[in-house]
Structure formats: C-alpha cells, structure tokens
Amino acid sequence: MEAPRRLKPYTRPQGERRGLLIVYTGDGKGKSTAAFGLALRAHGRGLKVRIFQFIKHGTARFGEHRAFALLGVPIEGLGDGFTWKSQDLEASARLAQEGWQRAKGAILSGAYDLVVLDEATYPLRYGWVSLGEFLGALKARPVHVHVVVTGRGTPEALVELADTVTEMRKVKHAFDQGVPAQRGIEH
Ligand code: ATP
Ligand code: MG
C-alpha cells in the first residue's frame, strides 16, 4: 500500500500553500460544472484528483464520466440516481452513509490533493450523513488536501468552516421555459 503523504492535521490559514475548503451552492446552474472545471485545472497541474457524486448512480455515464475517464480521473456515483423520489428511503440513507465512508477515507488518507464531494449537501440536509462527522473529517484532513463541496442549502456551519464560498443565483434557467435537459449541457 502507498504510504499516506504529509499526514499533518488540518488547521486554519497559516502558510501560503494549504488545502482549501471550497463550496459552490445556491439555486442557479453551475455548481457541479464549476467543481468539474476546478478538477480539470487541478489535474492539469498534476494534482491527484478524485470525484465523488452523492446523488448520481454508480452506473451513470454522463458527459463528465466520459471525459474524466479519458483523463484517468476517478469519478464515482455513490447514490441511487433519484434519491428524492426513492421508494426506499432507508436504502438511500444506507447508500449515502456507505458512500460517505468511502469519501471520508479518500480525504483522510492524504492520497489525493483535491477531493470533490458533488451534491454532498443533500445527504447532510436529509440527515443521512451526520453534519458533525462531516465537519470533523474536513477539519482532520491532511493539510495539503483541497475539498470542494457542491449542492443547494449548504448548512451554515459548513459555510463558516469553508475558505471560499460561491453562491450561484438563478437569474434565468431554460428549464423554466419548458426546455428539457440538454445532453452535454445538463448531463
Ligand atoms: P450543473 O450540474 O449544470 O452545474 P448544478 O450542479 O448547479 O448544475 P443542481 O442543483 O445540481 O445544479 O441541479 C442538477 C440539474 O438541474 C442539472 O442538470 C442542472 O443543469 C439543473 N438545474 C440547475 N439549476 C437549475 C434551476 N434553477 N432550475 C432548473 N434546473 C436546474
Ligand atoms: Mg449539481
């Protein structure tokens, strides 16, 4: 097994080079795609990137999965695809909890420079993943690890802990004019 790198516990701003906690939230379009853009930039700089998607199904083959597969950046869906419509909420909760344990392991291992937790705010809001445990893991992460969280309704405590928070505000969305999701743009 590869030895974990620089396993120093995370502390607040001190040096020039440190892992940031970045949040993309709000009701406008662009949260996940902003996170993917950052992942692309980081990959270009030789950072080790790993992406987890809390709602997307493990078998999803959307544009981002195809593109990151070409680049060799691991991206995995941890959810059941339609969590909020799920018939079996207990199963969804279990899935989210298992997914979170995987993501937490990746963050704490120090093996990645950037970990994306796409749509992680939803399991937090539904209480499927404990906010205390989530924040605890982020605080305990090795100092070099950047973490990006996306999703609507970010808990205030996560906003407070974060270094950079951007709120996407909907001015217009094509969906409201009845335009369906477009391949390559929405998925
Ligand atoms: P994207 O993945 O395009 O960056 P997002 O992550 O900001 O969007 P989510 O809240 O995760 O948006 O929504 C998931 C899906 O809903 C995406 O296909 C997105 O394009 C679409 N969407 C985002 N914002 C809106 C909105 N205000 N109204 C309707 N659909 C939206
Ligand atoms: Mg999204």
Ligand 1: atom nearest CA of 150 is: 6
How far, in Å, CA of 147 to CA of 145, rounded? 6
Give the pLDDT score at 90: 87
Task: Give the pocket of ligand 1 (CB within 6 Å).
Answer: 27-33, 119, 150, 152, 168, 170, 173, 175, 181, 186-187
Give the strand pairing for 21-25 and 146-150. Answer: parallel
The Å distance, Cα 56 to ligand 1 centre, comes to 13
Residue 168: how many CA atoms within 13 Å on its side-chain side?
19
Give the strand pairing for 75-79 and 49-57. Answer: parallel
Residue 43 one-letter amino acid: H
Q: Which of the listed residues 32, 54, 62, 168 should we mutate to test ligand 1's pocket, taking the one with most ligand atoms within 8 A of CB? A: 32
How far, in Å, CA of 106 to CA of 102, rounded? 6
How far, in Å, CA of 69 to CA of 59, rounded? 13
How far, in Å, CA of 66 to CA of 73, rounded? 10
Give the pLDDT score at 5: 64
Give the pLDDT score at 73: 98
Q: How many domains would you assign to the chain?
A: 1
- The secondary structure of residue 142, as a DSSP letter, is B
The whole model's pTM is what? 0.89
| 48 domain residue, yes or no | yes
Give the pLDDT score at 97: 95
In this prediction, the residues of the chain whose per-residue pLDDT falls under 70 are 1-16, 82-86
Task: Assign residue 66 the CATH number of its domain.
Answer: 3.40.50.300
Helix (H, G, I), strand (E, B) or coil at 123: helix
| 13 domain residue, yes or no | no
Q: Is residue 40 classed exposed, middle or buried when 0-12, 13-18 and 19+ CB atoms within 10 A define those classes?
A: middle
Closest to 150 measured CA to CA, from 55, 12, 85, 57: 55
| 9 domain residue, yes or no | no
pLDDT in tens, 125-137: 999 999 999 999 9
Ligand 1: atom nearest CA of 170 is: 27
| 177 domain residue, yes or no | no
The Å distance, Cα 20 to ligand 1 centre, comes to 24
The Å distance, Cα 29 to ligand 1 centre, comes to 5
| 61 domain residue, yes or no | yes
Residue 70: how many CA atoms within 13 Å on its side-chain side?
7
| 118 domain residue, yes or no | yes
Range of the domain at 107: 21-169
| 182 domain residue, yes or no | no
